[in-house]
Amino acid sequence: MASVTLSEAEKVYIVHGVQEDLRVDGRGREDYRCVEVETDVVSNTSGSARVKLGHTDILVGVKAEMGTPKLEKPNEGYLEFFVDCSASATPEFEGRGGDDLGTEIANTLYRIFNNKSSVDLKTLCISPREHCWVLYVDVLLLECGGNLFDAISIAVKAALFNTRIPRVRVLEDEEGSKDIELSDDPYDCIRLSVENVPCIVTLCKIGYRHVVDATLQEEACSLASLLVSVTSKGVVTCMRKVGKGSLDPESIFEMMETGKRVGKVLHASLQSVVHKEESLGPKRQKVGFLG
């Protein structure tokens, strides 16, 4: 993970600030930085989204491809995650440097989506045991400014909301061989319901308190963090502790409650932004990367 070195005095300043609920940039402990979300930025994907959270810049592309269902779940499609930490984020990611972080993030994404209700996988099934849709979710880290997991989960949710999977029909002829027919209208597609897709809220423990949305400097002062994955209704799907330090069970409970509270607000804001963007229609001004 990209990190900055800080002097002892700077760390002490940050820790005391967190205690007084006034962080270096004037935020409170539970405030997020300004988030910019834009969907449909990559034209040759089924769905895409770009999220900018302070200095963290994430691009997610979703491609829907035809595949065979897994043996143990013959009536469902599935999701595959891949995270690429690009070397333009920090020089540490050059060559194979970003692979460790990439696999860690991908494994976390698998875990949070590993339950029955996050995404309705039955809608991805075309014909049981034979054909299904596989959604390849690719995450690209463009810039690393702290709080990667939150930004990635917001981008994944926005990209899944934007995903349009073409509608197909299975035609059976007399010999029993199946043919898959794509509908003629390019706009005839199915959309995924992202109501239960969870988002990750990272809570970093700094001193005796915890903060949401830590910057790189704040992450350098924190020894332990808790990643809580929350749905829009406040249900926790997965929890993970990262960092070398230890967490008291009581503080874990407090952090979880904060995570649930913050998560609900996060979902509500994201929902309103993506709906607003969709209501602007296909004629909206796309900012993209050159704005």
Partner 1 sequence: MAMEMRLPVARKPLSERLGRDTKKHLVVPGDTITTDTGFMRGHGTYMGEEKLIASVAGSVERVNKLICVKALKTRYIGEVGDIVVGRITEVQQKRWKVETNSRLDSVLLLSSMNLPGGELRRRSAEDELAMRGFLQEGDLISVQAVFSDGAVSLHTRSLKYGKLGQGVLVQVSPSLVKRQKTHFHDLPCGASVILGNNGFIWIYPTPEHKEEEAGGFIANLEPVSLADREVISRLRNCIISLVTQRMMLYDTSILYCYEASLPHQIKDILKPEIMEEIVMETRQRLLEQEG
270 near partner 1, rule: CB under 8 A: yes
Indicate whether 12 belongs to the interface with partner 1 (CB under 8 A).
Answer: yes
Q: Under rule CB under 8 A, how many of the chain's residues touch partner 1?
A: 43
Of the pair 25, 188, the CB lying nearest partner 1 is at 25
- Shortest distance, position 99 Cβ to partner 1, whole Å: 25
Residue 212 sits in the site that holds partner 1 (CB under 8 A): yes
If the CB atoms of residues 22 and 182 are measured against partner 1, the closer one turns out to be 22
Q: Does 275 bind partner 1 (CB under 8 A)?
A: no
Residues 154-173 that bind partner 1 (CB under 8 A): none
- Among 35, 49, 204, 216, which residue sits at the site for partner 1 (rule: CB under 8 A)? 35
Is 182 a binder of partner 1 (CB under 8 A)?
Answer: no
Q: Is 1 in the site for partner 1 (CB under 8 A)?
A: no
Does residue 13 belong to the site contacting partner 1 (CB under 8 A)?
Answer: yes
Does residue number 33 form part of the binding site for partner 1 (CB under 8 A)? yes
204 binds partner 1 (CB under 8 A): no
Angle at the Cα of 22 from the Cα atoms of 19 and 24, rounded to 5 degrees: 110
Query: Quick one: three-class SS letters along the chain?
Result: CCCCCCCHHHHHHHHHHHHCCCCCCCCCCCCCCCEEEEECCCCCCCEEEEEEECCEEEEEEEEEEEECCCCCCCCCCEEEEEEEECCCCCHHHCCCCCHHHHHHHHHHHHHHHCCCCCCCHHHHEEECCCEEEEEEEEEEEEECCCCHHHHHHHHHHHHHHHCEEECEEEEECCCCCEEEEECCCCCCEEECCCCCCCEEEEEEEECCEEEECCCHHHHHHCCEEEEEEECCCCCEEEEEEECCCCCCHHHHHHHHHHHHHHHHHHHHHHHHHHHHHHHCCCCCCCCCCCC
Q: Taking CB under 8 A as the rule, which mask of x and - marks residues 49-68 in contact with partner 1?
A: ---x----------------
Instruction: Give the residue with the Cβ less far from partner 1, 26 or 249.
Output: 26
Q: Decide: is 103 part of the binding site for partner 1 (CB under 8 A).
A: no
16-24, 67-75, 90-98, 117-125 -> range binding partner 1 (CB under 8 A): 16-24
Q: Which residues make up the interface to partner 1 (CB under 8 A)?
A: 5-10, 12-13, 16-17, 19-20, 22-28, 30-38, 52, 212, 261-262, 265-266, 269-270, 272-273, 276-277, 285, 287, 291
